[in-house]
Amino acid sequence: MTNVMLDLLLEPLSEPFFVRALLAVALGGVTCACLGAYVVLRRMAFVSTALTHSILPGVVGALLLGFSPYVGALAAALLTAAGAAWLASRKGASEDSAIGVMLSVMFAAGVALMQQANSWRDFAGLLFGSVVAVGPADLRMIALTAAGILFGLRVLHKELELASFDEEYATLLGARPGLMRTLLLVLVALGSVACVSLVGALLTTALFVIPAATGVLLGRTVPQVMAWGVGCALAGGVGGLYLSYYLPAVPSGAGIVLCCALPYLLARIFAPRR
């Protein structure tokens, strides 16, 4: 019985694409969980959804025009963030609806571009994620982005924590909360571009929100929230990859998200009330 279990766990590891996907999901999961702690604590889940969805027109456009999909995705995400900020800057405009407008406009543009490309099938991986799609170059890219984001979070830890907790005091000390917010949005854009090949444009936002939401239920300090989030993301990521390996009908993105939701549900039921 133990042997059968072990075989089930080890068999996929002989496939190079699975090992690459495993590494990629570990790196992406850790990064998104740490970044997601701020996204969730600052109630920015909707912005992160908009940024991840807007990657779609960026990638499709880049493929049609023939330049790197990463550049296209990043440009589209930054355009969304800037557009939402500009729409919301008018007096009396709500940021919420500005983000909603940008999200749907960008996604609609992506759908229109996909029709231009004349083939929905090619983009299924882009929408829902595909483990086979992670090549050595993608893995390098993910590792580099993850290192950059984690380093940024580490060196700006006290500023981000202060600006997220008490914006006015951050202003008084000169810690520039507006700049911190912009920086956080840029990091979220970078993170979602790195993870889009794993879980797909529609579901990347789950990597930011679900592990961090689990962390918020269990952690008492920001580093604790991040640590619990990382645990949840790793468990969900690895579990999801195995799920989609043995059930090919389940795309990797869907598997990962479903497996992340399990620890969240457990934490929601069993976490001590505060």
Partner 1 sequence: MTLFWQRLGDAAFALLPTIPYARPEKQACDGEAIVARGLSAGARFDGPAAFLAADFVIPCGCRTALIGPNGSGKTTLLRVLAGLVPPKAGTVLVAGAPPTPGRSRIAYLAQRPQLTEGFPLRLRRLVQMGTYAHHGWFEECRHGEASVDQALARLGLTELADRPVHALSGGQLQRALLARALVQGAEVLLLDEPYAALDAASREIIERFFFDQGHTFTVLMATHDPADLARFDRVLELRAGAVRTRHASSGHDQRDA
Footprint on this chain of partner 1 (rule: CB under 8 A): 41-42, 151, 154-159, 161-162, 164-169, 171-175, 216, 219-222, 224-225, 274
- The three state secondary structure string of 39-106 is HHHCCCHHHHHHHHHCHHHHHHHHHHHCCCHHHHHHHHHHHHHHHHHHHHHCCCCCHHHHHHHHHHHH
CB of 103 to partner 1, least distance (A): 24
Q: Which is nearer to partner 1, 95 or 159 (CB)?
A: 159
CB of 257 to partner 1, least distance (A): 24
Q: Which is nearer to partner 1, 12 or 223 (CB)?
A: 223
- Whole-number Å distance between alpha carbons of 171 and 166: 9
Q: Which is nearer to partner 1, 162 or 243 (CB)?
A: 162
In our burial notation (b when 16+ CB lie closer than 10 A, e otherwise), range 182-221 reads ebbbbbbbbbbbbbbbbbbbbbbbbbbbbbbbbbbbbbee
Q: Which is nearer to partner 1, 31 or 164 (CB)?
A: 164
Residue type, 191: G
Count of helix runs (H) and strand runs (E) in the chain: 14, 0
CB of 141 to partner 1, least distance (A): 22
Q: Which is nearer to partner 1, 164 or 197 (CB)?
A: 164
CB of 158 to partner 1, least distance (A): 6
Burial group, residue 41, by CB count within 10 angstroms (0-12, 13-18, 19+): middle
Q: Which is nearer to partner 1, 42 or 261 (CB)?
A: 42
Nearest partner of 27 among 128, 154, 145, judged by Cα: 145
CB of 79 to partner 1, least distance (A): 28
CB of 274 to partner 1, least distance (A): 7
